[in-house]
Amino acid sequence: MTTGSSSPESDAAGSAGAPLAVELRGITKRFPGVVANKDIELRVRRGEVHAVVGENGAGKSTLMKTLYGEHRPDEGQILLDGREVRFRNPSDAIAAGIGMVHQHFMLADNFTVLENVVLGSEPTRGGRLDLAEARRRITEISDRYALGLRPDDLVEDLGVGDRQRVEIAKVLYRDARTLILDEPTAVLVPQEVDELFGNLAELKREGLTVIFISHKLDEVRRVADSITVIRRGTTVGTADPRATTTKQLAEMMVGSELPLPEKRESTVRETPVLELTDVRVDDGGGRPAVDGVTMTVREGEVVGIAGVEGNGQAELVDAIMGLRPLAGGEIALAGEDVTSWSTRARREAGVGFIPEDRHRQGMLLDAPLWENRILGHQTRPPASRGVFIDRSGSRADTARIMQEYDVRAPGPDTLAVALSGGNQQKLIVGREMSATPRLLVAAHPTRGVDVGAQAAIWELLKDARAAGMAIVLISADLDELIGLSDSLYVMLRGRLVASLDPASCTPEQLGGYMTGARTEAGAA
């Protein structure tokens, strides 16, 4: 191992000479058929932000779950402040000062900030929940770390950045001294990322230690004091963010060079594939979630929609897929009015779908990969032959997708739950692209996939577009939106508030429209 970050000279964090808060020695964790972690070493100093990077399936989440007491290592030792600990479960880890924010938030939507934070660790006075005391502590935590939380806000009304701060507050409320954040920025727009990094700086100032996982290497270099790179389950080295380029980091991770999405000649043809006319969707509470959206997507065109999460993009996608009824307006597919069609009818008419929440919409986690391969595609080959499910055909085609899309798992009979986040995503992309749809609705198609797989998915989308596929692209990755889109809209409070030229706009400009800081007179 190189030890670029342990040099004695002081750095901005002042943590270079600090004692080790966390040390993992020789951690090995096996699952049936997979060695997820193999003899991993991780050394994290007190008061630093330590990034862990690596390809999809490299073993990052597994390692963090081991540190958090969700897994027990088969071999190796965990040391906190130089003393060995053994955790039976997360409660043990919490008691030892470890907290974890998982990538999928685990908040209860219809509860307040206060309720969510205390849930599971209610302070009691005479056996009863002491709300006044809980409120006092939350306010204190929020002030001390500049989290800006209001205890009585309903979580369902909060944006994604605030939800994340509630998760962080929940961990701090339990007196964590070391915070693990698993891909915290995957769902954030640039302004929110800046806010989060501001919060991390506050945590550091108070002497807390942060372990941070991300696939966004520029960001890692910006925020981390030191970096550990893991590859195929084992540590390949540490890097000093100030002395390592993004390119070098990527090469340490995957061992190859990576292209950025660049523009190609326009492939937009005349024929409209999807036409939305004044589409309206209610949010269930009588308020408009989508408030009069009109747009056209043509053959060979990628239409990108940018927006801070929670501004109606998810509802718009649901409307296009027939997952939610319209409160008004019309949807046409290849010239035919499909407004009243079922999701299944739309899919059979050639609409592919990469859903935003793969756990809720795209996958059956407890089913094998081959069943996930045919999910939503049951009625045509290779899933079925006549009226029967074709198991062997499905298995063979799953194996093909695993090969072509680099889904790393033992085989088609592996359960989806055993795949790393990025590998689940690659399987869904492979499944949807394999049906060669006329229209592809892609919500965050590369969320959680590593830089190598991201470049591969970009290439696939560009090839499909060149072959005439129409694509609606929703993404929180602004480089991806700018790099892939032929037309680009910004969605804010249910409306398309700006139409931008991807050839000339920058991520900063886009971000400005997304938060409403910039406005455009002639918007749709």
Are 278 and 330 a contacting pair, CB within 8 Å?
yes
| Cα angle, residue 141 at apex, residues 137 and 146 outer, rounded to 5° | 150
Query: Is 31 or 111 the residue whose CB approaches ligand ATP more closely?
Result: 31
Give me 331's structure tokens.
Answer: 């949807």
Using CB under 6 A, which residues numbered 54 to 113 contact ligand ATP?
54, 56-62
CB of 62 to ligand ATP, least distance (A): 3
Instruction: Report how far apart the first and last C-alpha atoms of the chain are (Å, whole number).
Output: 55
| Cα angle, residue 31 at apex, residues 26 and 32 outer, rounded to 5° | 140
Q: Using the rule CB under 6 A, is 53 a contact of ligand ATP? A: no
CB of 211 to Mg ion, least distance (A): 13
Q: Using the rule CB under 6 A, is 235 a contact of ligand ATP? A: no
Task: Using the rule CB under 5 A, give the single segment among 233-241, 375-383, 415-423, 433-441 that binds Mg ion.
Answer: 415-423
Burial-class residue 84 by CB neighbours within 10 Å (0-12, 13-18, 19+). Answer: exposed
Q: Using the rule CB under 6 A, is 438 a contact of ligand ATP? A: no
Place of tokens 């230690």: 209
- Of 4, 11, 13, 31, the one binding ligand ATP (CB under 6 A) is 31
Give the one entry of ligand ATP, Mg ion, none that residue 419 binds, where binding means its C-beta sits below a cut-off of 5 to 8 angstroms depending on kind: ligand ATP
Give the one entry of Mg ion, ligand ATP, none that residue 111 binds, where binding means its C-beta sits below a cut-off of 5 to 8 angstroms depending on kind: none
DSSP code, position 405: T
3-state secondary structure of 331: strand
Q: Using the rule CB under 6 A, is 358 a contact of ligand ATP? A: no
Q: Using the rule CB under 5 A, is 423 a contact of Mg ion? A: no
Query: Is 115 or 183 the residue whose CB approaches Mg ion more closely?
Result: 183
Give me 330's structure tokens.
Answer: 């019309």
Query: Is 318 or 450 the residue whose CB approaches ligand ATP more closely?
Result: 450
CB of 75 to ligand ATP, least distance (A): 16
CB of 382 to ligand ATP, least distance (A): 24
Q: Using the rule CB under 5 A, is 184 a contact of Mg ion? A: no
Q: Using the rule CB under 6 A, is 185 a contact of ligand ATP? A: no
Total Cβ atoms within 10 A of residue 488: 24
Cα gap 280→419, rounded to integer Å: 37
Place of tokens 């809980």: 134
- The values of phi and psi at residue 366, to 5°, are -90, 5
Give the one entry of Mg ion, ligand ATP, none that residue 34 binds, where binding means its C-beta sits below a cut-off of 5 to 8 angstroms depending on kind: ligand ATP
Q: Using the rule CB under 6 A, is 368 a contact of ligand ATP? A: no
Query: Is 36 or 496 the residue whose CB approaches ligand ATP more closely?
Result: 36
- Give the dihedral sign, CA 430/432/434/438: negative
Total Cβ atoms within 10 A of residue 418: 18
Binding-residue total with ligand ATP (CB under 6 A): 21
Q: Using the rule CB under 5 A, is 37 a contact of Mg ion? A: no
Task: Using the rule CB under 5 A, give the single segment among 59-67, 93-101, 170-178, 269-277 that binds Mg ion.
Answer: 59-67
Cα gap 192→307, rounded to integer Å: 12
Cα gap 198→113, rounded to integer Å: 21
Q: Using the rule CB under 6 A, is 418 a contact of ligand ATP? A: yes
Read off the amino acid at residue 197: F
Give me 476's structure tokens.
Answer: 């929180």
Q: Using the rule CB under 6 A, is 178 a contact of ligand ATP? A: no
**Residues near ligand ATP, by CB under 6 A:** 31, 34, 36, 54, 56-62, 408-409, 418-423, 448, 450
Interaction site with Mg ion (CB under 5 A): 61, 421
